[in-house]
Structure 1
Amino acid sequence: MKTPLLISLVSLSALLSYTVNADPKTPGTHPGYTTAEMLANGIPNDLHMIDVSDIEHELQGKSPIAVGFDIDDTTLFSSPVFYRGQQMFSPNGYEYLSNQKFWDKANCGWDAFSMPKEIAQKLIAMHQSRGDDIYFITGRTASPCHFTTDYLKKTFHIKKMNDVIFAGSSRTVYTKTQYIKAHKIQIYYGDADGDIISARQAGAEGIRVLRAANSSYKPLPKNGLYGERILRDSQY
């Protein structure tokens, strides 16, 4: 029988991932390592680590493409938003993640407390210099406002800003896949396992961004679980 703590952790993982692993036939091909393990023990030799410069070199001389970004723990360190939401709406649990009032707070103002990740700044600057189209696709529940879109545009100095796509969550499908495919995105950056799988389902490459070890989004994913490429020092 699962203990109450284990049930809570499982519930948190399912709700925060926003796109639950809907395909039990998609096992990992590698044991993978969490960011905490990598920080404590160093980067294992069996991980495929890359830098922004590697991607830039690969794209050199090629026509502009469409690229996509997850938001939470990929583009923004948004743990302050989720911590505040839990304290306000469900201090003893994770019910706040299914509360529209929380999402309206998060999407319509609280993202001002989300810190931009350095890796996102570098990636976005590089892709903009190439003229690539940039899309943000999140598993968050949508709200009737444009604050997060405006915040990302201002924070990352995006010249041609597309509205944030709120894919929502599902227990049966990867909700981001259809949007990655519809916008012909060739590279999708994300910290969660579902981001890598969604990209591959859509025919794109999913590149792993390290989730910060102090993120409120637990448990930490196993980076390299699917043999994907991983951005070095991207926990910041």
Structure 2
Amino acid sequence: MSLLKKDIILKAPLLVTLVGLSALFSYATHADPKTPGTHSGYTTAEMLANGIPSDLRMIDVSDIQKELKDKPPIAVGFDIDDTTLFSSPVFYRGQQMFSPNGYEYLSNQKFWDKANCGWDAFSMPKSIAKQLITMHQDRGDDIYFITGRTSSPCHFTTDYLQKTFHIKKMNEVIFAGASRTVYTKTQYIKAHKIKIYYGDSDGDIISARHAGAEGIRVMRAANSSYKPLPKNGLYGERILRNSQY
């Protein structure tokens, strides 16, 4: 470890350090600094404190439902962490167990096996995900979950999502993994001909666009353990109102 990294860790143990930033790529698809935003964007915390800026493209589930009315079923995709589930309890526990005050746990297969094979029972379903999934199921749309998590040899998360959201036709969760150079979710969004992909991270929006789909932003909860909070609207994407819950 370089002296710079050591100095940052010593001075700011609770902040995202250089080591932490590297490890966090295992938590969600990365946002490429070479893909600049087209808008300043606003974090969920800023929007809660100051109100919704008029220059954001806010929509409701009903708006999407109206747009899709009388159209044939489509395939839609969902990110998991901070989009479908509020899973901060899982990641908080993992950090405390495997690398207190650090982010090395995100590179530890033992953590991912715990998270994917049982700990998701402590993840809370987001209200916005319930609304979206109900709407898409009523339309007969195919639903896919594509996550940047590292995979594990179990099916707990798939079963948990199916039971929690009462999904009739459940597809296995796709563990796309993470990369600092490639948008790993793009190939799966494209392969399954997904038209709309819902996600909270910048990488989710970009991955969808690279696959020819629309990326719709789900607001990351202000108290999420995944920091820093992304800037909603950074790419001019549409944002689901009240989707932090």
TM over 0.5: yes
Q: Does 1:94 align with 2:106?
A: no
Q: Does 1:44 align with 2:53?
A: yes
Determine if contact 2:16/2:227 at 8 Å carries over to the other structure: no
- Correspondence for 1:21: 31
- 1:26 is displaced (CA, Å) by 1.1
RMSD: 1.4
What does residue range 146-161 of structure 1 map to in structure 2 within 5 Å? 146-161=155-170
Letter in 1 for 2:24: L
- 1:19 is displaced (CA, Å) by 2.2
What does residue range 155-194 of structure 1 map to in structure 2 within 5 Å? 155-194=164-203
- Correspondence for 2:119: 110
Determine if contact 2:20/2:104 at 8 Å carries over to the other structure: no
CA distance in 2, matches of 1:152, 1:125: 13
Structure 1: runs of 5+ lacking an equivalent: none
Describe the superposition over 1:93-151 as per-residue Cα deviations: whole angstroms up to 9, x where unpaired. 11000000000000000000000000000000000000000000000000000000000
CA distance in 2, matches of 1:140, 1:48: 29
Letter in 1 for 2:114: K
CA distance in 1, matches of 2:18, 2:67: 39
Structure 2: runs of 5+ lacking an equivalent: none
- Correspondence for 1:221: 230
Q: Percent identity?
A: 83
Q: How many residues align?
A: 235
- 1:8 is displaced (CA, Å) by 3.5
- Correspondence for 1:85: 94
Letter in 1 for 2:159: D
Instruction: Specify which of 70, 73, 78 is matched with residue 79 of structure 2.
Output: 70
- 1:16 is displaced (CA, Å) by 3.0
SS at match of 1:83: helix
SS at match of 2:215: strand
- Correspondence for 1:35: 44
Instruction: Specify which of 9, 12, 15 is matched with residue 20 of structure 2.
Output: 12
Letter in 1 for 2:31: N
- 1:12 is displaced (CA, Å) by 3.2
Letter in 1 for 2:107: S
Instruction: Name the stretch that deviates more: 12-21 or 150-159.
Output: 12-21
- 1:171 is displaced (CA, Å) by 1.0
Letter in 1 for 2:59: I
CA distance in 1, matches of 2:68, 2:157: 29
Describe the superposition over 1:175-227 as per-residue Cα deviations: whole angstroms up to 9, x where unpaired. 00000000000000000000000000000000000000000000000000000
Determine if contact 2:31/2:201 at 8 Å carries over to the other structure: no
Instruction: Name the stretch that deviates more: 186-195 or 9-18.
Output: 9-18
Letter in 1 for 2:231: K
Determine if contact 2:90/2:122 at 8 Å carries over to the other structure: yes
- 1:14 is displaced (CA, Å) by 4.3
CA distance in 2, matches of 1:215, 1:202: 28
- 1:13 is displaced (CA, Å) by 4.2
SS at match of 1:210: coil
Letter in 1 for 2:234: L
Instruction: Specify which of 59, 65, 68 is matched with residue 68 of structure 2.
Output: 59
- 1:70 is displaced (CA, Å) by 0.1
